[in-house]
Structure 1
Amino acid sequence: MADIVGSRDPQRPGFDASLGRDPRLDVFRGLALVMIFINHAPRNYLEEFTNRNFGFSDAAEGFVFMSGIAAGIAYSGAFRNGDPMAGVTRVLRRVWTIYQVHILITLIAIAVAAAAAHWFGAPDMMRKHGIWTLVRDPLGFLIGIPLLGHQIGYVNILPLYLVLMLLVPPAIWCGMRWPLIVLGLSVAMWLTAGITGLNFPNYPQGGGWFLNPFSWQLLFIIGVLVGVAHKAGRRLVPVLPWLQWVTGGFLLLSLVWMQWPDFAAIMRGGLRAAHDAGVPVIITGFNKTFLAAPRLLHIIALAYFLSSFAVVRRACHSAFVAPFALLGRQALPVFALGTVLAFAIQAVKTVTGQDFVLDTLMIGGGILAQLGLAAAKQYWPKPRTVTV
């Protein structure tokens, strides 16, 4: 998904001087954002065409992996140039921005649910996504939201992203020196969380985060190492024909698995037998909270396979995919707007029910609104600073 490739020569294919990174990262991140938006407005026909129907992972895994790559590219320069404090400062500013955006979209999502109940006689939205805790335990809710201990549904990826961003400075500094050790420690943490159930706590409801940072850090750290290597002008893993066959074969296996129920039943039986024989469920299951092995391997295989073919790089330079690249370059505001619009669509569907035409208009309009925001952020002239 991001090349992870060779020379930093501005003349090489894939180099984008204006962005400072291969445009594939923006194109695929923009595509992931569109699919997240569609999946967050559930029970619409477009869901059938998102990537979660064609493999073990979904757009959330792609978004986290590519966010790791983007972080490795964006922040490793300061560490390589001998100014690590500048890199740490930039990361902390980004973390604070993510936190502010998360709190804002959480409040707006609650307001949308309340408006549906108050003005349109549709209280169901207040009972979904953990919002009802506000009614049952208002004090606990008001404590849990700012502490990230309570996350309403569909607004839980930014808290994960925030925590993972705090790992960026040590991951880059150590990854530039001992990448295999960093990877090994990350794998060990992933296994430990998957086997023991280690997770960040929820409050006031109890339990753990839906997207467990102890598990998802592995995917993000791999992305960071990929980004660090890319910034240095090389691939983390070279293009090897046999590895293209292996990753392509795994992608084909997962596609058949998802589309052929009888085959899936046979394969799940094999996984159950392996689990009964003592193989941990983190290896044999598909749990999203703990990023089970099939999901993890699928997104890594997909990223490697797509990044290993020059035709993908050329395609991402075309005008046809430019809208996705624009969305990807403004990922945080686009995600925030998409989340708010998805809640609004859910509220409308709660009142109106299923409607093919209305679904098409709402989702199409939502994507256009996200494109408009991305274009405004990208191209709107910034105000000049006037010194008095």
Structure 2
Amino acid sequence: MDQAASTPRPRKRRDHRVDALRGVALLMMLCDHVPQDWLNRFTLRNVGFADAAEIFVLLAGYASWLAYGRLILRGPPDGGWKAAFGRILRRCWRLYLFQMVMLFVSVFTIRQWRHYDPVPVDFLEPELAHGSHWLWAVLTLQALPNNLNILPLYILLLLAIPVMVWLWKISAKLLLGVSFVLWCIANLDPSINIPNWLDPDGWYFDPLAWQFIFVLGMLSAILAGRNDGHLPSPRWLRWVCGIYLVWGVWECFPYRDWGLPPLNPLPVPHAEKSTLALWRWLEAMAILVVVQSSGTASRFSETRGGQALAVLGRHSLEVFSLGTVLDLFARLVMNSFGTGWAIQIAVNVGGLAGVYGVALWLDHHRRQAALMAGETRAQAQREAMRPAGGDGGG
């Protein structure tokens, strides 16, 4: 047997930068969804045009190419359109179940809490506050409450991946062009949206607009895959991205919250989130370019701190869902008992411990499953290599 052919190829080392960046976005969401939390003064939404949602959807597109786009290109028997679409449907079903669990836990919790202490109306839309006539609208994703509207967007984007890959196979420029035109349409006429029973304006995350940043994430993954995981970025582009990010901090810093006079250098138009304003997706892309072209970011992702963030990012669905429920409890606690230092510390330490503990537990079980699968494959190989005559006994 040819020794070169029998030698297994070295396994490509995992790039943890995307996982770590997703972990940062999840921690920012944990703070942002609690308006009374003092920590959200330091999150991206208060020091930039974008916030964690743009990072989350951008990286969802990046990860979706790695999970499904490459599977389509691989072809049968272990890939292809059918295999990829089956995996997409299973993922969508999982997202749907998590969405339903979060929603029903939220409705039940708020209804019970109201028996003991008043809850502001903005914690739960009036249509969900009483009765069960809302049930069908919720189950069919026609009703999307606040803070529970990003997973339905993700489901829709995942279902569109086969079309996106089909356009990309014709031409990457065609995919980008079609996606950009749809984004332009959503910004020119925001009324073109999916109806939302709880909001006359439709889905808060307009899918026609937000698909663009998802596609940018997919195309970024393709470029990085051709360059050993690094986004090919010339020095001048990295400088432009860095300057844009610094300008975002200067322009969007909450000066009044800190008792400072406004120092905004330019009168920038409102960066509308629902239709993904230009300033927002530019900032998210600038962050991705800086991170995925940086050797420093790559080295940091291998450190203990980087790995602590990456473990959150590897289990983003579970971490996001638990964080959303914990955020609801944090808002209720702060509404009932105040926002003093003791409550702030308890809420933030408890939230971080909860999501990080779940992520560590899931990561441990993933490693155990991978180890058992490896042992099973090794055993199968040993059985296949055993001589047909057995041990020669008898």
Interval containing the TM-score (normalised by the shorter chain): 0.7 to 0.9
**For the residues of structure 1 that align with 2:238 and 2:369, how far apart are their CA atoms?**
44
In the other structure, the counterpart of 1:221 is 215
Show the counterpart of 1:60.
Answer: 53
Q: Tell me how far apart the structure 2 counterparts of residues 287 and 205 of structure 1 sit (CA, whole Å).
A: 16
Q: Following the alignment from structure 1 to structure 2, what is the Cα–Cα distance between the partners of residues 204 and 220?
A: 25
Three-state SS of the structure 1 residue aligned to 2:317 is: helix
- Decide which of 292, 314, 329 is 2:299's aligned counterpart: 314
TM superposition shift of 1:201: 1.0
**Contact 2:229–2:292 (CA<8 Å) still a contact in 1?**
no
Alignment check: 8 A CA contact 2:102 2:324 kept: yes
Structure 2 partner of 1:105: 102
Tell me how large the CA RMSD over aligned residues is.
2.3
Offset at residue 185 of structure 1 (A) = 0.6
Q: 1:181 to 1:235 in 2, by over 3 A?
A: farther
Contact 2:17 / 2:291 at 8 angstroms: preserved in 1?
no
CA distance in 1, matches of 2:318, 2:358: 8
Partner of 2:143, secondary structure, is coil
- 1:173-184 map, 5 Å: 173-184=166-177
Contact 2:323 2:355 in 1 (8 A): yes
1:30 aligns with 2:23: yes
> What residue is the counterpart of 2:376 in the other structure?
none
For the pair 1:96 / 2:93, whether they are aligned, the reply is yes
Give yes or no for the alignment of 1:84 onto 2:81: yes
Which of the two has higher C-alpha Rg?
Answer: 2
Following superposition, the deviation at residue 90 of structure 1 comes to 0.6
Q: Work out which of the residue numbers 51, 54, 62 in structure 2 matches 1:69.
A: 62
Deviation at 1:233, TM superposition (A): 4.8
Could you say which residue in structure 2 is the equivalent of 1:247? 241
Contact map agreement 1:68 1:224 (CA 8 A) in 2: yes
How high is the TM-score relative to the length of structure 1?
A: 0.84
2:293 partner letter: S
Alignment-mate amino acid for residue 41 of structure 2: E
Structure 1 unaligned segments of length 5 or more: list them.
1-8, 272-283
1: distance between equivalents of 2:171 and 2:230?
13
SS of alignment partner, residue 227 of structure 1 = helix
- Amino acid corresponding to residue 225 of structure 1 in structure 2: L
Tell me the equivalent position of 2:378.
none
Q: Is the 8 A contact 1:77 1:231 kept in 2?
A: no
Assess if the C-alpha contact under 8 Å between 2:119 and 2:332 holds in 1.
no
In the alignment of these two chains, the number of paired residues is 351
Take 1:263 and 1:293, find their aligned partners in 2: how far apart are those partners?
22
The structural deviation recorded for 1:207 is 2.2
Question: Unmatched 5+ residue regions in structure 2?
Answer: 1-8, 256-260, 374-394
Percent of aligned pairs with the same amino acid = 29
The separation in 1 between residues aligned to 2:229 and 2:178, in whole angstroms, is 21
CA deviation map 1:135-159 (0-9, x unaligned): 47852x2232112121111111111
Please point out which of 301, 307, 310 is paired with 2:286: 301
CA distance in structure 1 between the partners assigned to 2:34 and 2:369 by the alignment: 33
Of the three residues 301, 316, 322, the one matched with 1:331 is 316
Q: Deviations over 1:349-368 (max 9, x none)?
A: 12102121222112111111
| Cα deviation, residue 311, structure 1 | 1.0
Q: 1:171 aligns with which of 164, 167, 174?
A: 164
| TM-score, with length taken from structure 2 | 0.83
Letter of the aligned partner of 1:34 in structure 2? L
Q: Distance in 2 between matches of 1:134 and 1:214?
A: 27
